[in-house]
Amino acid sequence: MAKMVRHRIQFALLAAAGLVIISVQLTSPLQAQFEGERRRSDLGPIALPGGSRIEFKSFESQCLKATEPYSIFLPPSFSKDASRTYPVIYFLHGLNNDETSWTVERYGHIQTSLEQMMLSGKVPEFIMVHPRGDRSFYCNYIDGSKRYEDLIAQEFIAYMETNYRAKKGRENRAIAGTSMGGYGALKIAMKYPDRYAVAVGQSPIIIPGSNPMQLPEEARSSRFYSFFAQMLTPIFGDPLKQELWDANNPLVLAKDHKLAGLKIYFDYGTNDQYIAMAHLDEGCKALDRILSETQTPHTFKIHPGEPHGWALIASHIEETLPFLCQTFR
Protein backbone atom coordinates (compact mmCIF):
# COMPACT_ATOMS: atom_id res chain seq x y z
CA MET A 1 0.00 0.00 0.00
CA ALA A 2 2.77 2.45 0.89
CA LYS A 3 4.48 1.71 -2.43
CA MET A 4 1.24 2.35 -4.33
CA VAL A 5 0.72 5.68 -2.54
CA ARG A 6 4.30 6.67 -3.29
CA HIS A 7 3.78 5.90 -6.99
CA ARG A 8 0.59 7.95 -7.05
CA ILE A 9 2.38 10.89 -5.49
CA GLN A 10 5.22 10.58 -8.00
CA PHE A 11 2.70 10.56 -10.84
CA ALA A 12 0.96 13.62 -9.42
CA LEU A 13 4.32 15.34 -9.21
CA LEU A 14 4.86 14.72 -12.90
CA ALA A 15 1.50 16.21 -13.71
CA ALA A 16 2.33 19.37 -11.82
CA ALA A 17 5.93 19.59 -12.96
CA GLY A 18 4.52 19.97 -16.47
CA LEU A 19 2.59 22.73 -14.69
CA VAL A 20 0.82 25.32 -16.78
CA ILE A 21 1.86 23.83 -20.11
CA ILE A 22 0.11 20.54 -19.47
CA SER A 23 -3.07 22.34 -18.48
CA VAL A 24 -3.08 24.68 -21.44
CA GLN A 25 -2.73 21.82 -23.89
CA LEU A 26 -5.81 20.14 -22.49
CA THR A 27 -8.21 22.99 -21.66
CA SER A 28 -8.92 26.04 -23.74
CA PRO A 29 -10.04 28.34 -20.85
CA LEU A 30 -6.64 27.88 -19.23
CA GLN A 31 -4.99 28.42 -22.60
CA ALA A 32 -6.68 31.82 -22.82
CA GLN A 33 -5.78 32.64 -19.22
CA PHE A 34 -2.07 31.96 -19.55
CA GLU A 35 -1.72 33.38 -23.03
CA GLY A 36 -3.10 36.53 -21.41
CA GLU A 37 -0.11 36.52 -19.08
CA ARG A 38 2.18 37.56 -21.90
CA ARG A 39 2.46 41.11 -23.16
CA ARG A 40 2.17 40.44 -26.90
CA SER A 41 0.66 43.46 -28.65
CA ASP A 42 2.61 46.35 -27.13
CA LEU A 43 6.36 45.96 -26.81
CA GLY A 44 7.08 49.66 -26.76
CA PRO A 45 8.88 51.15 -23.75
CA ILE A 46 6.89 51.70 -20.57
CA ALA A 47 7.49 54.99 -18.79
CA LEU A 48 6.60 54.94 -15.09
CA PRO A 49 5.50 58.09 -13.19
CA GLY A 50 8.69 58.46 -11.14
CA GLY A 51 11.06 58.34 -14.09
CA SER A 52 11.72 54.59 -14.26
CA ARG A 53 11.51 52.84 -17.60
CA ILE A 54 10.86 49.31 -18.85
CA GLU A 55 12.26 48.34 -22.24
CA PHE A 56 11.90 45.18 -24.35
CA LYS A 57 15.16 44.30 -26.05
CA SER A 58 17.18 41.38 -27.42
CA PHE A 59 20.80 40.40 -27.97
CA GLU A 60 22.69 37.77 -29.94
CA SER A 61 23.39 34.86 -27.60
CA GLN A 62 26.28 32.52 -28.26
CA CYS A 63 24.91 30.10 -25.66
CA LEU A 64 21.64 29.70 -27.57
CA LYS A 65 22.97 30.47 -31.04
CA ALA A 66 19.94 32.72 -31.43
CA THR A 67 18.55 36.15 -30.66
CA GLU A 68 17.55 36.19 -26.99
CA PRO A 69 14.73 38.56 -25.93
CA TYR A 70 14.64 40.19 -22.50
CA SER A 71 12.85 42.96 -20.67
CA ILE A 72 14.68 45.40 -18.43
CA PHE A 73 13.62 47.77 -15.66
CA LEU A 74 15.80 50.88 -15.47
CA PRO A 75 15.53 52.88 -12.21
CA PRO A 76 14.51 56.56 -11.88
CA SER A 77 18.02 58.03 -12.03
CA PHE A 78 19.32 55.85 -14.86
CA SER A 79 18.65 58.35 -17.65
CA LYS A 80 19.66 61.35 -15.51
CA ASP A 81 23.14 60.35 -14.36
CA ALA A 82 25.26 58.67 -17.03
CA SER A 83 28.13 58.11 -14.57
CA ARG A 84 26.17 56.11 -12.03
CA THR A 85 26.36 52.31 -11.85
CA TYR A 86 23.75 49.93 -10.44
CA PRO A 87 23.39 46.47 -8.89
CA VAL A 88 21.26 43.97 -10.83
CA ILE A 89 18.45 41.56 -9.99
CA TYR A 90 18.19 38.74 -12.54
CA PHE A 91 14.59 37.50 -12.57
CA LEU A 92 13.54 34.17 -14.15
CA HIS A 93 9.95 33.61 -15.31
CA GLY A 94 7.91 30.41 -15.08
CA LEU A 95 6.61 27.79 -17.52
CA ASN A 96 4.47 29.16 -20.34
CA ASN A 97 5.43 32.69 -19.36
CA ASP A 98 8.08 34.82 -21.00
CA GLU A 99 10.16 37.93 -20.35
CA THR A 100 7.09 40.16 -20.77
CA SER A 101 4.74 38.36 -18.36
CA TRP A 102 5.53 40.47 -15.32
CA THR A 103 4.42 43.63 -17.15
CA VAL A 104 0.87 42.57 -18.06
CA GLU A 105 -1.88 44.83 -16.79
CA ARG A 106 -3.17 42.49 -14.09
CA TYR A 107 0.25 42.61 -12.40
CA GLY A 108 0.95 46.29 -13.09
CA HIS A 109 1.48 47.03 -9.43
CA ILE A 110 4.67 44.93 -9.50
CA GLN A 111 6.23 47.55 -11.76
CA THR A 112 4.93 50.51 -9.78
CA SER A 113 5.88 48.87 -6.48
CA LEU A 114 9.49 48.59 -7.62
CA GLU A 115 9.62 52.29 -8.39
CA GLN A 116 7.72 53.41 -5.31
CA MET A 117 9.96 51.41 -2.98
CA MET A 118 13.02 53.02 -4.57
CA LEU A 119 11.61 56.53 -4.39
CA SER A 120 10.59 56.05 -0.75
CA GLY A 121 14.06 54.76 0.17
CA LYS A 122 12.86 51.29 1.17
CA VAL A 123 15.34 49.78 -1.30
CA PRO A 124 18.29 51.24 -3.22
CA GLU A 125 18.03 51.81 -6.95
CA PHE A 126 18.85 48.75 -9.06
CA ILE A 127 18.36 47.31 -12.53
CA MET A 128 16.03 44.32 -12.90
CA VAL A 129 16.28 42.16 -16.01
CA HIS A 130 14.03 39.32 -17.20
CA PRO A 131 15.54 37.00 -19.85
CA ARG A 132 13.41 34.52 -21.79
CA GLY A 133 13.77 30.95 -20.53
CA ASP A 134 11.23 29.04 -22.66
CA ARG A 135 10.75 25.52 -21.16
CA SER A 136 14.40 25.03 -20.28
CA PHE A 137 14.21 24.95 -16.47
CA TYR A 138 17.25 27.21 -16.97
CA CYS A 139 19.48 24.20 -17.61
CA ASN A 140 21.95 23.31 -20.35
CA TYR A 141 20.57 20.75 -22.82
CA ILE A 142 22.39 17.43 -22.76
CA ASP A 143 23.48 17.72 -26.41
CA GLY A 144 24.86 21.24 -25.91
CA SER A 145 22.45 22.76 -28.42
CA LYS A 146 20.98 25.19 -25.88
CA ARG A 147 22.85 26.35 -22.80
CA TYR A 148 20.38 28.29 -20.68
CA GLU A 149 22.33 27.86 -17.45
CA ASP A 150 25.45 29.28 -19.10
CA LEU A 151 23.32 32.07 -20.55
CA ILE A 152 22.15 33.17 -17.11
CA ALA A 153 25.26 32.46 -15.02
CA GLN A 154 27.87 33.70 -17.51
CA GLU A 155 26.84 35.31 -20.77
CA PHE A 156 24.04 37.52 -19.49
CA ILE A 157 26.08 38.80 -16.56
CA ALA A 158 28.84 39.84 -18.96
CA TYR A 159 26.30 41.44 -21.29
CA MET A 160 24.69 43.47 -18.51
CA GLU A 161 28.01 44.65 -17.11
CA THR A 162 29.14 45.74 -20.57
CA ASN A 163 25.95 47.42 -21.80
CA TYR A 164 24.00 48.75 -18.80
CA ARG A 165 26.43 50.28 -16.29
CA ALA A 166 25.88 47.29 -14.03
CA LYS A 167 28.12 47.00 -10.99
CA LYS A 168 30.48 44.04 -10.86
CA GLY A 169 30.96 41.64 -7.97
CA ARG A 170 28.68 39.05 -6.38
CA GLU A 171 27.45 41.52 -3.74
CA ASN A 172 25.89 43.51 -6.59
CA ARG A 173 24.02 40.55 -8.09
CA ALA A 174 20.85 38.82 -6.90
CA ILE A 175 18.82 36.17 -8.69
CA ALA A 176 15.12 35.42 -8.25
CA GLY A 177 12.33 33.60 -10.01
CA THR A 178 8.85 32.15 -9.90
CA SER A 179 7.67 28.58 -10.51
CA MET A 180 10.11 27.07 -13.05
CA GLY A 181 12.12 30.26 -12.56
CA GLY A 182 12.07 29.75 -8.79
CA TYR A 183 13.72 26.39 -9.36
CA GLY A 184 16.15 28.00 -11.80
CA ALA A 185 17.12 30.82 -9.45
CA LEU A 186 17.79 28.53 -6.49
CA LYS A 187 19.58 25.95 -8.62
CA ILE A 188 21.86 28.41 -10.40
CA ALA A 189 22.72 30.35 -7.24
CA MET A 190 23.57 27.11 -5.43
CA LYS A 191 25.83 26.03 -8.28
CA TYR A 192 27.50 29.46 -8.51
CA PRO A 193 27.48 31.03 -5.04
CA ASP A 194 30.57 32.98 -6.04
CA ARG A 195 28.49 34.93 -8.59
CA TYR A 196 25.34 35.79 -6.60
CA ALA A 197 24.93 37.03 -3.07
CA VAL A 198 21.17 36.45 -2.77
CA ALA A 199 18.69 33.95 -4.24
CA VAL A 200 14.89 34.02 -3.98
CA GLY A 201 12.57 31.29 -5.29
CA GLN A 202 8.81 31.87 -5.09
CA SER A 203 6.42 28.99 -5.81
CA PRO A 204 9.52 27.01 -6.92
CA ILE A 205 9.16 23.68 -8.71
CA ILE A 206 11.22 21.45 -6.44
CA ILE A 207 10.38 17.79 -6.98
CA PRO A 208 10.94 15.46 -4.03
CA GLY A 209 12.56 12.09 -4.61
CA SER A 210 15.74 11.06 -6.37
CA ASN A 211 14.45 10.52 -9.93
CA PRO A 212 11.25 12.03 -11.37
CA MET A 213 11.08 9.42 -14.16
CA GLN A 214 10.90 6.34 -11.93
CA LEU A 215 7.21 5.57 -12.31
CA PRO A 216 5.05 2.45 -12.56
CA GLU A 217 4.23 1.16 -16.04
CA GLU A 218 0.62 2.40 -15.97
CA ALA A 219 1.79 5.96 -15.46
CA ARG A 220 4.21 5.73 -18.38
CA SER A 221 1.34 5.24 -20.83
CA SER A 222 -0.35 8.49 -19.81
CA ARG A 223 -0.23 11.72 -21.83
CA PHE A 224 1.00 13.53 -18.71
CA TYR A 225 4.07 11.32 -18.57
CA SER A 226 4.73 11.53 -22.29
CA PHE A 227 4.59 15.32 -22.25
CA PHE A 228 6.79 15.60 -19.18
CA ALA A 229 9.29 13.16 -20.67
CA GLN A 230 9.29 15.15 -23.90
CA MET A 231 10.14 18.29 -21.95
CA LEU A 232 12.86 16.77 -19.74
CA THR A 233 14.68 14.39 -22.09
CA PRO A 234 16.39 17.15 -24.15
CA ILE A 235 17.80 18.44 -20.87
CA PHE A 236 18.56 15.31 -18.86
CA GLY A 237 18.67 12.53 -21.49
CA ASP A 238 16.60 9.47 -22.37
CA PRO A 239 16.79 7.54 -20.19
CA LEU A 240 17.33 10.30 -17.66
CA LYS A 241 20.97 10.60 -16.58
CA GLN A 242 20.87 10.42 -12.80
CA GLU A 243 24.16 12.26 -12.33
CA LEU A 244 22.92 15.11 -14.52
CA TRP A 245 19.65 15.35 -12.62
CA ASP A 246 21.54 15.38 -9.32
CA ALA A 247 23.86 18.11 -10.59
CA ASN A 248 20.80 20.32 -11.16
CA ASN A 249 18.66 19.29 -8.19
CA PRO A 250 18.40 21.90 -5.39
CA LEU A 251 17.79 19.07 -2.92
CA VAL A 252 21.25 17.70 -3.74
CA LEU A 253 22.99 21.05 -4.17
CA ALA A 254 21.69 22.20 -0.79
CA LYS A 255 23.89 19.62 0.94
CA ASP A 256 27.02 21.52 -0.08
CA HIS A 257 28.43 23.49 2.85
CA LYS A 258 29.85 26.14 0.51
CA LEU A 259 26.41 27.81 0.50
CA ALA A 260 26.98 29.43 3.89
CA GLY A 261 27.64 32.83 2.28
CA LEU A 262 24.57 32.71 0.03
CA LYS A 263 21.41 34.38 1.35
CA ILE A 264 18.42 32.16 0.45
CA TYR A 265 14.68 32.80 0.57
CA PHE A 266 11.89 30.59 -0.77
CA ASP A 267 8.15 30.35 -0.19
CA TYR A 268 4.84 29.07 -1.47
CA GLY A 269 1.14 29.68 -0.88
CA THR A 270 -1.20 27.01 0.46
CA ASN A 271 -3.80 27.95 -2.17
CA ASP A 272 -1.38 27.21 -5.01
CA GLN A 273 -3.43 24.93 -7.27
CA TYR A 274 -0.35 23.15 -8.62
CA ILE A 275 1.20 22.52 -5.22
CA ALA A 276 -2.14 21.37 -3.80
CA MET A 277 -2.65 19.07 -6.78
CA ALA A 278 0.76 17.41 -6.68
CA HIS A 279 2.32 17.92 -3.25
CA LEU A 280 5.12 20.16 -4.53
CA ASP A 281 4.98 21.71 -1.08
CA GLU A 282 6.89 18.62 0.02
CA GLY A 283 9.78 19.68 -2.20
CA CYS A 284 10.00 23.04 -0.45
CA LYS A 285 9.76 21.41 2.96
CA ALA A 286 12.48 18.95 2.02
CA LEU A 287 14.74 21.81 0.95
CA ASP A 288 14.09 23.55 4.26
CA ARG A 289 15.03 20.39 6.18
CA ILE A 290 18.26 19.89 4.23
CA LEU A 291 19.38 23.51 4.64
CA SER A 292 18.58 23.30 8.34
CA GLU A 293 20.56 20.08 8.69
CA THR A 294 23.59 21.66 7.01
CA GLN A 295 23.08 24.78 9.16
CA THR A 296 22.81 26.94 6.05
CA PRO A 297 21.06 30.24 6.91
CA HIS A 298 17.86 30.65 4.94
CA THR A 299 14.31 31.94 5.10
CA PHE A 300 11.38 29.65 4.27
CA LYS A 301 7.80 30.84 4.46
CA ILE A 302 4.40 29.26 3.89
CA HIS A 303 1.65 31.77 3.10
CA PRO A 304 -1.82 30.54 4.11
CA GLY A 305 -4.41 31.02 1.37
CA GLU A 306 -1.96 32.51 -1.15
CA PRO A 307 -1.89 31.46 -4.85
CA HIS A 308 0.86 30.50 -7.30
CA GLY A 309 3.27 32.63 -9.31
CA TRP A 310 3.03 36.34 -10.06
CA ALA A 311 0.12 36.90 -7.68
CA LEU A 312 2.23 35.56 -4.80
CA ILE A 313 5.10 37.82 -5.85
CA ALA A 314 2.84 40.88 -5.96
CA SER A 315 1.45 40.11 -2.49
CA HIS A 316 4.86 39.85 -0.82
CA ILE A 317 7.07 42.25 -2.75
CA GLU A 318 7.45 44.49 0.32
CA GLU A 319 9.20 41.56 1.99
CA THR A 320 11.13 39.87 -0.81
CA LEU A 321 12.50 42.96 -2.55
CA PRO A 322 14.42 44.23 0.53
CA PHE A 323 15.72 40.69 0.98
CA LEU A 324 17.06 40.71 -2.58
CA CYS A 325 18.67 44.11 -2.06
CA GLN A 326 20.32 43.45 1.28
CA THR A 327 23.89 43.27 -0.09
CA PHE A 328 23.49 46.19 -2.51
CA ARG A 329 25.49 49.27 -1.64
Q: Rounded distance, CA 184 to CA 128, Å?
A: 16
CA separation for the pair 235, 326 (Å, rounded)? 34
Are 36 and 101 within 8 A, CB to CB?
no
**Residue 312 maps to which CATH number?**
3.40.50.1820
Among residues 15, 32, 14, the alpha carbon closest in space to that of 24 is found at 32
Q: Which amino acid is at 312?
A: L
Distance between CA atoms of residues 122 and 33, nearest Å = 33
User: Do 53 and 75 meet the contact criterion of CB atoms below 8 Å apart?
Assistant: no
Half-sphere exposure of 219 (CA within 13 A, CB side): 20
Q: Can you give the pLDDT of all 329 residues of the chain as single tens digits?
A: 444 444 444 444 444 444 433 333 333 333 334 445 666 667 899 999 999 999 999 999 999 999 999 999 999 999 999 999 999 999 999 988 999 999 886 766 899 999 999 999 999 999 999 999 999 999 999 999 999 999 999 999 999 999 999 999 999 999 999 999 999 999 999 999 999 999 999 999 998 888 777 655 655 555 556 666 778 899 999 889 999 999 999 999 999 878 989 999 999 999 987 765 556 789 999 999 999 999 999 999 999 999 888 999 999 999 999 999 999 98
Q: What angle do CA 203, 87, 186 make, to 5 degrees?
A: 25
Answer yes or no: is 25 within a domain.
Answer: yes
- Domain contains 329: no
Count of domains forming the chain? 1
171 belongs to a structural domain: yes
Structural domain harbouring 144: 2-324
Residue 239 within any structural domain of the chain: yes
